[in-house]
Copies of this chain bind each other. A is one copy, B any other.
Amino acid sequence: MVVKVYGPDYASPKRALVCLIEKGVEFETVGVDLFKGEHKAPEYLELQPFGSVPVIQDGDYTLFESRAIARYYAQKYKHQGTDLLGKTIEETGLVEQWLEVEAQCYSPPITDLIYKIVLDPIRGLTPDPKLIKESEDKLCKVLDIYEERLSKSKYLAGDLFSLADLSHLSLTQYLMGKMRKEYLIRDRKHVSAWWDDISSRPSWKKVIELWPGLY
A residues neighboring B (CB under 8 Å): 49-50, 61, 63-65, 67-69, 71-72, 75-76, 89-90, 92-94, 96-97, 99-101, 103-105, 142, 145, 148-149
Contacts and interface: CB of A to CB of B under 8 A. Distances in A.
11 contacts: A50-B145, A63-B93, A65-B96, A65-B101, A68-B97, A68-B100, A71-B96, A72-B93, A72-B96, A100-B103, A103-B104
A89 B65 contact: no
A89 to B, nearest CB: 5
A127 B50 CA distance: 29
A-B pairs, top 10 by smallest CB distance, nearest first, are: A65-B100, A68-B96, A72-B93, A68-B97, A49-B145, A68-B100, A65-B97, A71-B96, A76-B89, A63-B93
Q: How many copies does the complex hold?
A: 2
**Main secondary structure on A side of the interface with B:** helix
B65 A104 contact: yes
A43 to B, nearest CB: 16
A72 B92 CA distance: 8
A65 B63 CA distance: 24
A173 to B, nearest CB: 20
A100 B63 CA distance: 11
Given A68-B96, A89-B72, A96-B68, A101 B50 contact: yes
A71 B90 CA distance: 11
B67 A100 contact: yes
A84 to B, nearest CB: 14
A92 B92 CA distance: 15
A90 B149 CA distance: 34
Q: Most B CB atoms within 10 A — which of A63, A68, A90, A145? A: A68
